[in-house]
Amino acid sequence: MAAACPAFDVRDIPFSVRGSWLNLSPVVALHTRADQVHLVSHRNGMHAVLRCEPLDATGSVVAADWAATPATFTWRRGDAAVTAVFDGVRALRLRGSGLGLRLADAAGGLTPFTGTYLFTDPVDGSAVFTSYETGRRYRVSGEPGVVTVQGEQALGVADRAVVLGTGAGEWEALLEEIDSAQEPRPLDRTFDEVVADVAARFDEYVETIAPWRTAATPAAELAAYVLWSATVAPEGYLGRESVLMSKHWMDKLWSWDHCFNALALAGGLPDLAIDQLLAPFDHQDVTGALPDSVTHSEVLYNYVKPPIHGWALRRLRARAPRSLTGEELREIHAGLVRWTRFWLDRRRVPGHVLPYYQHGNDSGWDNSTTFDVDRVIESPDLAAFLVLQLEVLADLADELGEPSKEWRDTAAEVLRVLLAERWDGQAFFAVGAASGRRSTTTSLLNLLPLVLGDRLPEPVREAMTRRLEGHLTEHGPATEPVTSPHYEDDGYWRGPIWAPSTALVEDGLRASGRPDLADTVSARFRATCERSGFAENFDARTGAGLRDRAYTWTAAVYLVLAAESVERGTSERHPDADRAPTAS
Of 308, 250, 324, 207, nearest in space to 45 by CA: 250
Of 17, 19, 6, 23, nearest in space to 68 by CA: 6
What domain count does the chain have? Answer: 2
How far apart are alpha carbons 292 and 310 in whole angstroms? 17
* Alpha-helix residue ranges (DSSP H) falling in 447-514: 458-469, 499-511
Domain presence at residue 33: yes
Note the pLDDT of residue 115: 81
CB atoms within 10 A of CB 459: 10
Statement to judge: residues 492 and 376 lie in one domain: yes
> Which DSSP category does 494 fall into?
S
Domain end call among 179, 212, 227 = 179
Task: Give the length of the chain.
Answer: 584
- pLDDT tens-digit profile of 33-51? 999 999 999 999 999 999 9
**Mean pLDDT across 55-71:** 95
Q: Is the pLDDT of residue 254 over 80?
A: yes
Domain presence at residue 258: yes
Q: Is the pLDDT of residue 334 over 80?
A: yes
Statement to judge: residues 88 and 162 lie in one domain: yes
Statement to judge: residues 456 and 327 lie in one domain: yes
Domain presence at residue 438: yes
Distinct helix (H) and strand (E) counts, the chain = 13, 25
Statement to judge: residues 168 and 303 lie in one domain: no
Note the pLDDT of residue 1: 54
Statement to judge: residues 137 and 263 lie in one domain: no
What residues are paired with 341 via a beta bridge? none
Domain presence at residue 530: yes
Note the pLDDT of residue 511: 97
Single pTM value for the model: 0.94
Note the pLDDT of residue 155: 78
Q: Is the pLDDT of residue 582 over 70?
A: no
User: How high is the mean pLDDT of the chain?
Assistant: 94
How far apart are alpha carbons 560 and 490 in whole angstroms? 26
Percent of the chain topping pLDDT 70: 95
- pLDDT tens-digit profile of 354-367? 999 999 999 999 99
Of 113, 166, 177, nearest in space to 140 by CA: 177
What residues are paired with 476 via a beta bridge? 473
Statement to judge: residues 253 and 157 lie in one domain: no
- pLDDT tens-digit profile of 255-274? 999 999 999 999 999 999 99
Of 160, 178, 179, 175, nearest in space to 118 by CA: 160
Of the two residues 573 and 320, the one the predictor is more confident about is 320
How far apart are alpha carbons 175 and 508 in whole angstroms? 49
CB 279 within 8 A of CB 259: no
* Banded pLDDT at 335 (limits 50, 70, 90): very high
Statement to judge: residues 309 and 172 lie in one domain: no
Note the pLDDT of residue 109: 62
- pLDDT tens-digit profile of 72-92? 999 999 999 999 999 999 999
Note the pLDDT of residue 116: 87
Note the pLDDT of residue 573: 37
Statement to judge: residues 329 and 469 lie in one domain: yes
Note the pLDDT of residue 7: 86
Statement to judge: residues 412 and 503 lie in one domain: yes
Q: Is the pLDDT of residue 314 over 60?
A: yes
Which value, in Å, is the radius of gyration of the alpha carbons in the chain?
25
Domain presence at residue 7: no
Residue 414: give its domain's CATH number: 1.50.10.10
Domain presence at residue 200: no
Statement to judge: residues 128 and 246 lie in one domain: no
Note the pLDDT of residue 159: 84
**Mean pLDDT across 434-455:** 98
* Banded pLDDT at 579 (limits 50, 70, 90): very low
Domain presence at residue 6: no
Q: Is the pLDDT of residue 578 over 50?
A: no
**Mean pLDDT across 461-486:** 98
How far apart are alpha carbons 269 and 276 in whole angstroms? 11
* Banded pLDDT at 508 (limits 50, 70, 90): very high
Domain presence at residue 211: no
Residue 59: give its domain's CATH number: 2.70.98.10
CB 440 within 8 A of CB 372: yes
Percent of the chain topping pLDDT 90: 88
Statement to judge: residues 268 and 175 lie in one domain: no
Bridging pattern class, strands 65-68 and 32-41: unpaired
CB within 8 A of 403, min separation 6: which ones?
397
* Banded pLDDT at 576 (limits 50, 70, 90): very low
CB atoms within 10 A of CB 191: 16
**Mean pLDDT across 21-44:** 96
How far apart are alpha carbons 138 and 129 in whole angstroms? 5
Statement to judge: residues 460 and 325 lie in one domain: yes
Q: Is the pLDDT of residue 306 over 70?
A: yes
Q: Is the pLDDT of residue 381 over 50?
A: yes
**First vs last C-alpha separation in the chain:** 47
Domain end call among 147, 179, 211 = 179
Domain extent for 479: 240-567
CB within 8 A of 310, min separation 6: which ones?
336, 340, 385, 388, 389, 390, 391, 392, 393
Domain end call among 135, 156, 179 = 179
CB 296 within 8 A of CB 42: yes
Note the pLDDT of residue 107: 77
Whole-angstrom CA distances from 18 to 12, 29, 118, 142, 509 are 18, 21, 29, 25, 35
CA angle 247, 163, 62 (to 5 degrees): 75
- pLDDT tens-digit profile of 165-214? 976 689 999 999 999 988 888 888 999 999 999 999 999 999 999 999 99
